[in-house]
Structure 1
Amino acid sequence: MNLTAKQLKDYFKEIVEMIEKEKDYLCELDRKLGDGDHGVTMSIGWQAVNEKLNNELAEEQDCAKISLTVGKTFLSAVGSSVGPLYATGFMRGAKAVKGKTEMNDNDLAEYWIAFAKGIKERGQAEVGDKTMIDTLEPFFISLEKQFAESNEFLPAFTTAVEEAKKGMESTKDIVSKKGRSSRLGERSIGAQDPGATSAYLILSTFLNFVKGQVEVR
């Protein structure tokens, strides 16, 4: 499958809409573990991205430049720790597709593996710390393995998103070891991590988006 620069921008616009829909849910999850503002923070970041998509990036055809601008824009709009993490993810993804106006199966796999690994490197968290890495590490491990075996992006990505979902759900049973929520100790058990949840939603939004594009054809 191929994804054009226009489709990449359309996908980012779908994230903007999804975050608005899920904003209250993400804040509700965060109230159990942190400041209760994760949904608002994500919304601020993605509204800033939306502004760029509608103006500066409206005619842009370079997939790397689009992803790079999305990362930098999110970073300048969001002060909290999630800003540098997503910025790193989208900027690493951009490096993987430098100069491309269209991404094929191989490009898409490399983009998402670079995205997830970039966040893992930047965040210095491990699986079991109750963070977005509980979603992203099982995702990139699965995507690398499945894509190496099949060379088909959509089936590999579908399986990887299933692994991401299991990782997200596993955070309910984990004691938080990172960030503000780590102060809660055992009391953090039973609450699903908001960062792990928004990371999963970004991946599942892409899955639904590309499935929709395939059906349109």
Structure 2
Amino acid sequence: MAQQQVDAARRVPLNRDRVLRAAVALADQAGVDSVSMRNLAQELGVVPMALYKHVANKEELLDGMVDVVVGEIDPPVGGADWKPAVRQRILSARRALLRHPWASRVIESRPRPTLVVLDYLNSIAGMFRAGGFSVDLTHHVMHALGSRVWGFTQELFSASPPPADPEMEAAMFRELLSRYPHIAEIAMSAGHDEGSVVGHGCDDQSEFEFALDLLLDGFERLHRQGWTSRDRA
């Protein structure tokens, strides 16, 4: 029965949406580096040339995959104040990208944003403008958010697992404590989240929301003060 379902799915006529969603599923399953026209054609049960009727090349395929992921972000909350509306939208973006761990790297690699990406960024900027933010402040706000607008951040360093040998791990921490006491005290005081992408011993979601809320509170303060870029002079 399972094979019959696979065969039936493969007989469904190709279209751009089906090609892109199959590519996203392949990246989710095997990593984005596994996505090639040949591998994708094999997944769909077609010859590679059949794909070129729907995507011109690998770059267009990657752009389309990003669009599929961005399309999973919840729409803006109607009637909400700018602050909870922005927060909800960004945290929805985070959930979408966590479902597709490869997506953040692909988004960062794109030389130009697609129309779908621009629509999302425009909606975020529009929330600030609807909240009364000036164009000037909104410009700086979008820069300050950076990749956080997509629900991810570029951390100071990549997390690495501790040595498997307990004696080596203990020696490493003694060295850390001796040479870098402030880093050591932070590392040893943090809560543990083994699946964190922020850093070993950090709670990924809490760290992200802490920084996001800190920024939103700061934006609110500047807005109330009537801040402009001329105030930096």
TM-score range, shorter chain: under 0.3
Name which one, 1 or 2, has greater alpha-carbon Rg.
Answer: 2
TM-score, normalized by length of structure 1? Answer: 0.26
Higher helix share: 1
TM-score, normalized by length of structure 2? Answer: 0.24
The higher-RCO structure (CA 8 Å, 6+ apart) is: 1
